[in-house]
Structure 1
């Protein structure tokens, strides 16, 4: 297939990605089945529209008779998973939820939209997922053994950690490396998040696969004395009456 034929075959994918809603509408009017065509990346136009935060095109595609809100690309990603990973894509998420997107569907790595929301610290979308009927579950473990809480702790999102715990997330579960959420928070130097986990009851005596306690992972050697993570956590824990 020549490059011009290739471009013509996947014109709707490019238009969806680039936000050309009139082109998408014209192509669909000519051939509605184009919305179901996968490109060489294994994606439908809806996946590209979601990844580029093209609200108008997502709405247009979602109104097609054959629209499936849970359609997967070749990696098992749904439009909702993609939108949940994009900054300021709340409106796209709303459209997909209104069309019945499954908030707990897993991709090939066992991850749900909530895993990506937690990684991106997208608090508002997380709230939308929990408010959905049925709600998102914070108790889904991916193939690395991680819950969304592990991801939120690793990026140091204390508000996300608190929201996940309010929605029944396991607190002391370990991933395949033996890391708890506390291990992740400390290892990445997020003292405030570590304190939030401790206040919630995080266990300090759990060792990872290499035998390390969470506090053993504090990256103090790379920081100035004033910012040493372990000293900060120990001081704040003492102030809170938490025994380490």
Structure 2
């Protein structure tokens, strides 16, 4: 007989924010603590999703030895990935202090790490904690070839770009699967100030071309951004026409 939504009362209670009921059901049915619903999400996934730190602690305290990397949903997201998307450092610390802490560089089905996710959502403090406290790898590419620096540049976050550029041996001119550098992405998304920062502080090469033989300035979102970049970069930009 196929499963249906009524087969997952713990998950349903959490999604409805009925925390007392969820705790009661967990204590009555501890074997169901890590059972997966139709989306392959466990009660811990949902506790993280509603950003309830206290409930997350309640769940992991019952089985602190569990390897949460083994519990991923249909998209390959573990509870750590959800936490990283939300930027909840308290939950991150709870996970990393488990007796069997998760892999800080674990990947989703799309090759996305917790660092990628926290950067995409502009969670600066979380990013710093991942890198400086837990040693997250800031060079990993996802399946599109995006590095953390490329993701930070695409959202125009100078503070996160600054944090990444401060790391040892970071490849400032790394390219994605289409040959785009972080500078291509910054200009294409209209982040002229971030693009200038990448060149002046990061030493990113503004003459590198992508797979279509286009330089970063040539993929600028509009002429205003291109002009801003030309006017503020303290280098002689070669004529590209």
Q: Residue in 1 aligned with 2:116?
A: 115
Aligned residues of 2:45 and 2:78 also touching (Cα < 8 A): yes
> Structure 1 residue 7: deviation in Å?
4.4
CA–CA distance in 1 between the matches of 2:236 and 2:10? 59
**Is the alpha carbon distance of 1:82 and 1:101 closer, same or farther for their aligned partners in structure 2, counting shifts above 3 Å?**
same
CA–CA distance in 2 between the matches of 1:153 and 1:138? 14
Q: Residue in 1 aligned with 2:227?
A: 231
> Structure 1 residue 97: deviation in Å?
2.1
Match 2:14 to one of 13, 16, 25: 16
Q: Residue in 2 aligned with 1:52?
A: 50
Q: Is there any run of 5+ residues in structure 2 with no aligned partner, and where?
A: none
> Structure 1 residue 117: deviation in Å?
0.9
CA–CA distance in 1 between the matches of 2:165 and 2:49? 28
Q: Residue in 2 aligned with 1:154?
A: 154
Stretch deviating more after TM superposition (29-38 or 166-175): 166-175
CA–CA distance in 2 between the matches of 1:18 and 1:212? 50
Q: Residue in 1 aligned with 2:214?
A: 212
Q: Residue in 2 aligned with 1:76?
A: 76
CA–CA distance in 2 between the matches of 1:20 and 1:91? 21
Aligned residues of 1:152 and 1:161 also touching (Cα < 8 A): yes
3-state SS, counterpart of residue 206 of structure 2: coil
> Structure 1 residue 147: deviation in Å?
0.6
Matched, 1:64 2:65: no
Structure 2 matches for 1:162-173, cutoff 5 A? 162-168=162-168, 169-173=170-174
Q: Residue in 2 aligned with 1:94?
A: 93
Matched, 1:26 2:24: yes
3-state SS, counterpart of residue 85 of structure 1: helix
3-state SS, counterpart of residue 209 of structure 2: coil
**Residues 165-187 of structure 1: CA distance to partner in whole angstroms, max 9, x if unpaired?**
21243210110111100000000
Matched, 1:243 2:236: yes
Aligned residues of 1:16 and 1:46 also touching (Cα < 8 A): no
Q: Residue in 1 aligned with 2:181?
A: 180
- The CA RMSD measured in Å over matched residues stands at 1.8
Aligned residues of 1:61 and 1:67 also touching (Cα < 8 A): no
CA–CA distance in 2 between the matches of 1:167 and 1:18? 42
Q: Residue in 2 aligned with 1:224?
A: none
Aligned residues of 1:62 and 1:69 also touching (Cα < 8 A): no
**Residues 177-201 of structure 1: CA distance to partner in whole angstroms, max 9, x if unpaired?**
1110000000011011101110110
CA–CA distance in 1 between the matches of 2:129 and 2:28? 36
CA–CA distance in 1 between the matches of 2:48 and 2:103? 15
